[in-house]
Structure 1
Amino acid sequence: MRFLIVCLALTCIFSQAQTPPPQQQPYQASAPLSWELKNARWFDGRAIQRGNLYVENGVFVAKKPAKVNRKMDMRGQVLINPLAEAHNHNLQTAWGWGQFADSYIDQGVFYAAMLCGDPAGVAEVGPLAAAPAAPEVSFVTACITSPDGYPLAAVLPEPSAEAAAAQKQIVLVDSPEQASQQWPAIKARGGSWLRIVLSHSERPELRGRPEHFGRLGLRPETAAALTRLAHADGRRVVAHVETAADFDAALAAGVDAIGHLPGYANMLDEAPDVFALSDAAVARAASQRTSVITTTAATQLFKLDAAQLAALREVQRANLAKLQAAGVPLLVGSDVFIGTARAELHALDELGLDRATLLRMATQDTPRALFPGRKLGCFEPGCEASFLVLGGDPIADLAQVDIPMLRVKQGRLLTRLADVAASSSQASASTADPPKAAKKASAKKKTGKAKAQPKAQAKAQTKATSKAKQR
């Protein structure tokens, strides 16, 4: 039953005919603005810093710009960089984009990775992701599994070998020899990443059993062959894994990232120790600098009873603690189709991760991993000026992340109000200076004093002159 629930959720990934939610105005971006943020507090990856921040031409700068479009007093508020989602599927089709793209911006998630798109679908979505008010997306367009592998059972109308062979969305490879033969076609699908599926690779006895069709994945030697081919061609590899043995096989293959923390699910009702990472595996992941995408929020999709959920959560805590202690790069990803990285942020918080570390993972480590070479997740001069304004300190209260007061992307104000977006660059609004009415009153008062002073002096002079004449 749990597998059927997951299949239903995964079917939504590829569906084009769902009932849409009520429509809201889409997000729009202003022109790039110059900003002066006085009395600012911001999260730098370790703690909250204080000072003034300046933005010009889409980046943070050291000095106040000659012309400022937005001057704001940030007293009492905190700035963080936008969040990133390292594992999802909801923006890889035009339908999914229409349903969920604005929710990414709404939740402050500006960067995302979609891990199993097909080239035709991504070709439709790519131009949409280039818009200023859109989330930026890294797409995987080569998703590779075995002829009986995950996620075929979820995406096929009728899960069978014949239907699997006929579909074109997922690449099917059954041996190292086939990997070499199909590499030109895989390469032609484009993208700088490919995704391979390892699922219960330690249990070859499951192959050929109809009830497990679509749940399995590549053999370890096939995964290794694909990884070698990808690396020789300058591409990187992310591996879907289910068990600790799959994790070991992915490391042996030399993948660059692992798409799940083992223990995010328990499809075959196995003992929890099947998902427990060994010290040797964790040490190898650290030495190879293999990133691990967490996906602990996805556990809630499986409707486990309290005891089963507690057992998986305990394994997750132990795995995370080992990976953190060894210095393995951890990336925030939810794999929750109707959600974003914000769901994973809260799931990891419930597992007890240190708040500052968690925020660094979400706002620095993950966006930089998705878009290497860019200056993301920082507030120093030269960094991209993308940030969220929160009402309070998210280290003390993580719920502050749920209600961004302001969203700025590369210096552009993101808003659902078209007139605000259109007029922002012409205005010079300020919350840092006294209101205009107060300024006028102050100026009038000063002018009155200035006028009164000469009159008094003139009156005194006339009086003195009159006395002198009398004398």
Structure 2
Amino acid sequence: MMKKLLLALLLASVIIACKPDNPVHVQMQLSNGYWFNGSDFEEKTVWIKDGTLSFNEKTVLSDTIIDLEGKYVIPPFAEAHNHNLESDYELEERINSYLDNGVFYVKHLSSIKKRMDSLIHFYNKPTGIDVSLAHAPLTGTGGHPIALRKRYLEYGYFDGLFNTLEEIETHGYFIIDTEADLESKWQRILSFQPDFIKINLLYSEEFQKRKNDTAYFGKKGLDPKLVPAIVAKAHNSNLRVSAHVATSHDFHVAVSSGVDEIAHLPEIHNGQPIDPKDANLAAKQGTVVVTTASLVTKNKERDNYQALVDNIRSNLETLKQAGVIVAVGSDMYNDNSVEEFQLLHSLEVYSNLELLKMWCENSATTTLPHRKVSFLKDGYEASFLVLDKNPLVNIKDVNQSIVLKVKQGSILN
């Protein structure tokens, strides 16, 4: 027998049926809701069947009819750049923080598979967050993140896994100095089954200067001449490439080499402009740029802090004018893309519609490009957020207006 339930009664009944690791897919009909169509909200009746959305199921008998009472439905949010899911330290709190704020998808830009293996059961399930993983990034001798791995080794974070820095190589990073290195190590790279390839470009305009200078340990990356070969190799293996960049020249090298994603807005800490020609090429290729703009807050004590913020705004305006796809990612251990989103909102570069699409559509698509997520379309995963206010009118603190979360047809508590 069908029941017509108000939203409050739904939370008291259907959630109970959804056990944490074995959720029950309830056939639902959702009426009187306004659904985001990519440009506006439309009042629709929508059905959930076997964990997917249907916009034409009038003959299907639903277990539950939910009256959304004029509320607004959007795709879930995503965190397109972080590194905070590799440790079991306060892991449950971090996962809950993501879910509580409507962030269902996280792109983890590098990790050590040996550490992730014991935690992977927390992820990629209907009642948890979904992650995509690069595992070990590609870098040059002495490049980022080798210094970081060395520091963590000395702190004892790798006790029981590695005893020396040399043992971490191939697990925490791959050193690629030549095309011969790339060829000989490629199968080992693939053996970790990465969802995408992460490469590190840092101050590539000074590659020769920094190459053999130990003063730049951890502050350099790949030989820029190798990037096209790496991209070609990855694409031949059906893997996308995400490039860590620091400078506008790094951005130029990455875009010119055909990478799929830029993992950082360049010049966050240096304050130089992006070349509009590179922005235009990125737009033409469909290269995604992940913001990580809130990293600038680490420079608050610097005299030029406001100038850095102004440069971030200017570079985002350059990307916007070119039509570059921009996604929301923080690269901040204690963030879940919410604070990043708030910073982007405060810069007043993008409209509410553009910000919503960046956080819902662009971020999820670049995180899980082969999944039917990020849009509320027929046949797509039944994952969405129900809001009590229209985000196109007031998007500030939009995460605080969530009244219902559904992931793959399961209602999240």
The answer, yes or no, to whether TM exceeds 0.5 is yes
Is the partner of 2:116 in helix, strand or coil? helix
* Pairs within 5 Å for 1:243-322: 243-264=247-268, 266=269, 270=270, 272-273=271-272, 276-305=273-302, 307-322=303-318
Q: Which amino acid aligns with 2:307?
A: A
CA shift for structure 1 position 388: 1.0
Pick from 20, 23, 31 the counterpart of residue 24 of structure 2: 31
> What is the match of residue 123 of structure 1?
117
Please say if residues 147 and 165 of structure 1, whose CA atoms lie closer than 8 Å, have aligned partners that are also in contact. Answer: no
CA shift for structure 1 position 381: 2.8
Q: Which range is displaced more, 238-247 or 360-369?
A: 360-369
Report whether the alignment pairs 1:174 with 2:200: no
Please say if residues 260 and 293 of structure 1, whose CA atoms lie closer than 8 Å, have aligned partners that are also in contact. Answer: yes
Indicate the percent of aligned positions where both proteins have the same amino acid.
29
What whole-Å deviation, never above 9, does each CA across 1:102-161 have from its counterpart, x for those lacking one? 22111101111111012222323333213221111111123111221112222313899x
Pick from 205, 210, 220 the counterpart of residue 209 of structure 2: 205
- TM-score between the two structures when normalised by the length of structure 2: 0.85
Structure 1: runs of 5 or more not aligned: 1-25, 416-471
- CA RMSD after TM alignment: 2.5
Report whether the alignment pairs 1:183 with 2:186: yes
What whole-Å deviation, never above 9, does each CA across 1:393-426 have from its counterpart, x for those lacking one? 12222223234211111111111xxxxxxxxxxx
Pick from 68, 71, 84 the counterpart of residue 90 of structure 1: 84
Q: How many residues align?
A: 381
What whole-Å deviation, never above 9, does each CA across 1:300-359 have from its counterpart, x for those lacking one? 234344x52321222222222222222222122111111112222212111211111111
Q: Which range is displaced more, 175-184 or 278-287?
A: 175-184
Cα gap change, 1:114/1:317 in structure 2, threshold over 3 Å: closer, same or farther?
A: same
* Pairs within 5 Å for 1:301-450: 301-305=298-302, 307-352=303-348, 353-398=350-395, 399-415=397-413
Report whether the alignment pairs 1:80 with 2:74: yes
Please say if residues 88 and 334 of structure 1, whose CA atoms lie closer than 8 Å, have aligned partners that are also in contact. Answer: yes
Cα gap change, 1:157/1:341 in structure 2, threshold over 3 Å: closer, same or farther?
A: closer
> What is the match of residue 107 of structure 1?
101
Cα gap change, 1:27/1:296 in structure 2, threshold over 3 Å: closer, same or farther?
A: farther
Q: Which range is displaced more, 247-256 or 95-104?
A: 95-104
What whole-Å deviation, never above 9, does each CA across 1:214-250 have from its counterpart, x for those lacking one? 1111110133332232223332211100000111111
Is the partner of 1:156 in helix, strand or coil? helix
> What is the match of residue 37 of structure 2?
44
Please say if residues 220 and 253 of structure 1, whose CA atoms lie closer than 8 Å, have aligned partners that are also in contact. Answer: no
Q: Which amino acid aligns with 1:111?
A: Y
Report whether the alignment pairs 1:59 with 2:52: yes
Q: Which amino acid aligns with 1:59?
A: T
Structure 2: runs of 5 or more not aligned: 1-18, 155-162
Distance 1:374 1:208 in 2: 43
Please say if residues 389 and 401 of structure 2, whose CA atoms lie closer than 8 Å, have aligned partners that are also in contact. Answer: no
> What is the match of residue 458 of structure 1?
none
Please say if residues 54 and 65 of structure 1, whose CA atoms lie closer than 8 Å, have aligned partners that are also in contact. Answer: no
CA shift for structure 1 position 90: 1.1
> What is the match of residue 196 of structure 1?
199
Q: Which range is displaced more, 210-219 or 66-75?
A: 66-75
- TM-score between the two structures when normalised by the length of structure 1: 0.75
Report whether the alignment pairs 1:234 with 2:226: no
Report whether the alignment pairs 1:148 with 2:142: yes
What whole-Å deviation, never above 9, does each CA across 1:140-194 have from its counterpart, x for those lacking one? 123111221112222313899x965442321122233322232232222222311
CA shift for structure 1 position 93: 4.0
Q: Which amino acid aligns with 1:42?
A: W
Distance 1:213 1:115 in 2: 21
> What is the match of residue 12 of structure 2?
none
CA shift for structure 1 position 29: 7.1
Please say if residues 55 and 65 of structure 1, whose CA atoms lie closer than 8 Å, have aligned partners that are also in contact. Answer: no
> What is the match of residue 422 of structure 1?
none
Distance 1:226 1:373 in 2: 21
